[in-house]
Amino acid sequence: MAKLMQAAQLVALGQPLQVREVPRPAVAEEDVLVRPVRCGLNGGDPHLVSGDFRVSPEYLPHLKLPITIGHDPVGVVAEVGPSVEGFRAGDRVFINPNMECGRCVYCRTDGAHICTSKMLRGWVPLTAQPVAQFARYKDGLCAEYAVAHYSSLFKLPDDVSFKSACHLNEIGVAYRALLRARITHGDVVVVTGATGCTGMSVVLLARLFNPRKIIAVARDRRKLAHLQAIDPDLIETVSVLEDNLSQRLTELTDGIGADVLVDFVPRGAEVTVQSMYRLRPGGRVILAGGCTEELSISYRFLMRSSLEISSSRGPCPQDFPLLIDFIRTGQFRSSTIEVREFGLGETNDALRVFSERTGDRPFWVHILPNADLS
């Protein structure tokens, strides 16, 4: 009889998660059995659970329930399959929740994040015909145990804490967007959605590209103040609720306009559009927030301004060792962001807190499926 474990599972859309006993997954030839220590919640998780799923809704009918949620995990290796190389029980690891095919033209170049066969664990299928071999990894990581293909693991050095490395997937999303932005020394960078789960990572990472100024745009002035306190000489803030966004961006850029807009607005496309109008001629736009609204902007303005508009999606696996090193060396200071911790049995409470985002500080939410290891 299979051993059992606890897992936070979505059994029906629109219903609370069920934290329940399910069979512990079997370890195949190239699998690693991991005990997730922490699993960060991401912006889409509450929408998936509630059924209010706006990103790629066409794939929602392909979602096979039940499914364990959670796709930003760090953990400890408990067991390895017979053909696994380079990992052993006790290793501390980040589990890349993205499964890429490794064979397509994108995976063979620098574009695994846009692999057309990509799957994200604990999430809806991202294609109508998911790769069959990925099916055994469909579950997310908010569980006492999970299997992963050994190629999806990245070792964490002893001096990188689980707490600081949780959210590497989200940090990877931010990093890819910033690479796309091609920030150069002295740029003025506007980050919208700046107090959101990924937006915070964008602000923290953007500092590494030597900009002249980072303008963090979000709703809540109190949360923005905490973000600004991380680097008051570099970070300016604009509250879209209390400030005139256009006027404030004009002031902060001396009337010239910003060089780059890294847009992580989840909703409210007018913030994106207003920010685009405040870019300098030749400025660059990276759309990465997953907003489902239409952009309404003047064709003639875009032409006359000669803006570069691009977009970005997901992290690239080859970035993770570098990002782990950013954390180890303190270049990426994840400790500046508050973390709210919840046990596996409290996952519904965690989703509620994450959605409501109450309080005056920006924060990340971590689920601790194996609290004894955290």
Q: Which residues of the shown chain bind Zn ion in the complex (CB under 5 A)?
A: 100-101, 104, 107, 115
Residue 56 or 127 having the CB closest to Zn ion? 127
Residue 115 or 337 having the CB closest to Zn ion? 115
| CA nearest neighbour of 209 among 262, 169, 170, 167 | 262
Residue 107 or 173 having the CB closest to Zn ion? 107
Residue facing Zn ion at closest CB distance: 115
Beta bridge partners of residue 143, listed in sequence order: 7
Any idea which residue has 């994840």 for tokens? 334
- Kindly state the helix (H) or strand (E) to which residue 113 belongs, with its residue range: none
Q: Please report, for the chain, how many H helices and E strands are present, in that order.
A: 10, 18
Residue 93 backbone phi and psi in degrees, to 5: -140, 155
- Kindly state the helix (H) or strand (E) to which residue 272 belongs, with its residue range: helix 269-277
DSSP type of residue 143:
B
Residue 69 or 120 having the CB closest to Zn ion? 120
Minimum Å gap between C-beta 315 and Zn ion is 14
Residue 115 or 262 having the CB closest to Zn ion? 115
Minimum Å gap between C-beta 28 and Zn ion is 21
Minimum Å gap between C-beta 113 and Zn ion is 10
Minimum Å gap between C-beta 205 and Zn ion is 25
The C-alpha R_g of the chain, in whole angstroms, comes to 21
Residue by residue, DSSP assigns 84-105 as --S--TT-EEEE--EE--S-ST
Output helix, strand, coil percentages for the chain, rounded to the nearest 5.
Answer: 30, 25, 45
Residue 115 or 148 having the CB closest to Zn ion? 115
Minimum Å gap between C-beta 181 and Zn ion is 24
DSSP type of residue 367:
E
- What's the CA gap between 171 and 332, in Å, rounded? 10
Distance separating the N- and C-terminal Cα atoms of the chain: 29
Pairing of strands 119-120, 98-99: antiparallel
Other CB atoms within 10 A of residue 359 CB: 13
- Are 292 and 54 a contacting pair, CB within 8 Å? yes
- Are 237 and 225 a contacting pair, CB within 8 Å? yes
Minimum Å gap between C-beta 93 and Zn ion is 22
- What's the CA gap between 173 and 192, in Å, rounded? 15
Task: Give the 3-state secondary structure of residue 264.
Answer: coil
Distance of CA 123 to the CA centre of its chain: 13
Minimum Å gap between C-beta 151 and Zn ion is 13
Residue 138 or 248 having the CB closest to Zn ion? 138
Secondary structure of 221-242 in the HEC alphabet?
HHHHHHHHCCCCCCEEEEECCC
Residue 76 or 104 having the CB closest to Zn ion? 104
Residue 115 or 216 having the CB closest to Zn ion? 115
Minimum Å gap between C-beta 106 and Zn ion is 5
Minimum Å gap between C-beta 31 and Zn ion is 20
Minimum Å gap between C-beta 26 and Zn ion is 26
Residue 5 or 115 having the CB closest to Zn ion? 115
